[in-house]
Amino acid sequence: MWLPFCFVAALLLAVHGEGRGERSDVYVVYMGAVPPRTSPSFLQETHLRLVGSILKRGKVARSVVVQQYKHSFSGFAARLSKDEAAALRHKPGVVSVFADPVYQLHTTRSWDFLQQTDVKIDSARRYSAKPTASSAPTTDTIIGLLDSGIWPESPSFEDTGFGPVPSRWKGVCMAGDDFNSSNCNKKLIGARYYDLGEVNSAGTRSSSNSPRDEAGHGTHTSSTAAGNAVTGASYYGLASGTAKGGSAASRLAMYRVCSDEGCAGSAILAGFDDAVGDGVDVISVSLGASPFFNPDFSEDPIAIGSFHAVAKGVMVVCSAGNSGPDPSTVVNAAPWIMTVAATTIDRDFESDVVLGGNSSAVKGGAINFSNLDKSPKYPLITGASAKSSSASRVESASHCEPGTLDASKIKGKIVLCNHSQSDTSKMVKVEELQSAGAVGSILVNDADRSVTTAYLDFPVTEVTSEAAADLYKYISSTSEPVATIAPSITVTELKPAPVVVYFSSRGPSAQTGNILKPDVAAPGVNILASWIPTSSLPAGQKQPSQFNLISGTSMACPHVAGAAATVKAWNPTWSPAAIRSAIMTTATQQNNNKAPMTTDSGTVATPFDYGAGQVNPTGALDPGLVYDLAADDYLHFLCNYGYGASQIKLITSPAAGFSCAGNASKDLISDLNYPSIAVTGLGAAASRTVTREVTNVGAQEDAAYTVAVSAPDGLDVKVVPSKLEFTNTVKKLSFQVTFSSKNAPPAKSALTGSITWSDGKHIVRSPFAISN
């Protein structure tokens, strides 16, 4: 069910122009920060005058402008010809002009599991006045989501028990198709929608005309981040329990920038701009570009919007993408963004294969509501044995590829099919088997078995290659093999968990190799949360489920957004960087076997898989120390990345006298005061020193922290000083870390480890990755 929302692409959106057959495209014109003491209305008029200055006679500026950005940054989107866009690039005050891209969505028990896997915090470690992450915050926080809309009737968004809407809220509840202002309440306090940038058959862009969710994705992410606790939630009886968001006391605001067709960059920028202007505290963004479309920061709508949001003190959390397990596929990797990978939880949906003879069972997994007889009486065959005479390859038939099987051979039977990631999709295979008269199917699937597929009424289960060996052995041992497929049941306390799921995008970042990405991991597999009504009901069901089980880094992102909102509620003056630091340095790296976390292929996970580890919502409330960042730190990052001071001054409004250092280089990005450390280009017999500063935010003003280093063979790591002593007057202290290698790190890999500060109560861990 999650797959339609997880394909990542970056498409350029073409729109036919008006008059004389001239072609025009939608372009975004980015003009940096809003100048001080500039009103939104003045800014809007400025945009129109700028557009008008390059339009041909007869064209009106207001008729071509699609969006205007006026709260946290300045700019607009407009339908322009190629020549008109080129002319704007040379106008004073313009940072960049780029064709409007279309990004894609990256698409209960999860919060219970996070609480179970927390590092236990004893009374000495806990803030005396602070409760656990599941308790109600003391300050209202508002989470804004840029997504596909929201289904306001979901019980996750009821407002019983909520007080008045915070007075600082400046947002609106936009009326639209099947949506009016009464659909908002004291929980869902705002909703907006935008031109989605879709191209219809006539080649023109259409609008959603409503904040209402038509895809389900935005409803799911919203309830994951901040949904009320809803008892008796389930997916038609599976995964039953209480569905709840990570920050149930937070308010919600939806910015519909997507449909199931995609998310226009111009709408994404408008969502960021409005969310900041409306007064949200945290922005959750479960969408992104393809890892193969790598725009510069000044041409990436998410990087632009999040940069200005963070500059205004708004935390931005984004999904890492669903292009794993290949390396260098992580997206949304700007250092001002918190980037989230996906892990499993300790729940599975088991559907076993029962064999004839001694009625032994082979473990499988999928979501099906099988109506097959419990007795193993259905003929069991392999796809290869049902090969049609027209099929050229037995291998293709063994994988049940469409068009390779003889329908007369599979009618009334359960068909055992191999499956690999390069095959035709599982659902297409299954639909063809069902149409041909098969009564069920078993798919041998190792690559993505951890993500449960919902087959609903048609009895299908998936088994590993190891389990399939028993099936093949049984088939070859008897002349009339028979079997049945059991309906799915929920299995909890699965071990090991969490593991990093195969689809989660991996580091290192292709853009920012000297920033370790992703930042952290969170549950993103088979997550139960609210959903929109659907007409696809399992047999015997009269009402659609109000919940659905979905997977993707889309689902991991709002888990961290909810945790961030809780940290913000108890620490309203903390910067986005401090909140990110609290979440990263308290993350866990062990599974529920008390062993190092692995990937779902069984290898030990690295920081390129899960960043600092799995989010620990309770631990993040009391991090002890934080790595903070100010606006100027990000400006110096841009200097080191390669931007000139003049361009940076267009992007933002730095302090008087700001300039880039003469020795600016990408190597110096490693010195950004980030909670993790990444160093590239370290050769044999070489060394590199980086600097970090930590701030004591613990309850004890007088605190002494000592350092412990975990480093791999071949890498020497020295921390100076090795002890940090804080007092009531000394809140911040710096230290240096020197990495020295005897041999160059292996090609296309990295040497990883960690640096941990502890005062006996707090554990403040920072991962590192050193590559050549």
The residues annotated as belonging to the active site are 147, 217, 554
Are 253 and 171 within 8 A, CB to CB? yes
Q: What element of type H or E holds 637?
A: helix 631-641
Q: Would you tell me how many other CB atoms lie within 10 Å of the CB of residue 176?
A: 19
Query: CA-to-CA distance for 569 and 584, rounded, in angstroms?
Result: 18
Query: CA-to-CA distance for 596 and 499, rounded, in angstroms?
Result: 10
Angle 641-646-651 from CA coordinates, rounded to 5°: 75
Are 30 and 95 within 8 A, CB to CB? yes
Please list the alpha-helical segments (H only) found in 406-542.
407-410, 426-435, 465-477
Query: CA-to-CA distance for 89 and 647, rounded, in angstroms?
Result: 13
- In sequence order, what E strands does 59-100 have? 65-69, 75-80, 96-99
Write down the residue that tokens 């790595």 correspond to: 627
Task: Copy the structure tokens of residue 636.
Answer: 């110096």
With b meaning 16 or more CB within 10 Å and e meaning fewer, what string describes 348-374? bbbbbbbbbeeeeebbbbbbbbbebee
Q: Is 156 exposed, middle or buried (0-12, 13-18, 19+ CB in 10 A)?
A: buried
Omega prior to 40 cis, within 30 of 0: no
Query: CA-to-CA distance for 740 and 683, rounded, in angstroms?
Result: 9
Query: CA-to-CA distance for 456 and 536, rounded, in angstroms?
Result: 9
Q: Is 170 exposed, middle or buried (0-12, 13-18, 19+ CB in 10 A)?
A: exposed
Read off φ and ψ for residue 546, nearest 5 degrees: -80, 0
Q: What is the Cα Rg of the chain in Å?
A: 27
Instruction: Look at strands 353-355 and 547-550 and give their pairing.
Output: unpaired
Bridge partners of residue 314, in order along the sequence: none
Query: CA-to-CA distance for 759 and 572, rounded, in angstroms?
Result: 25
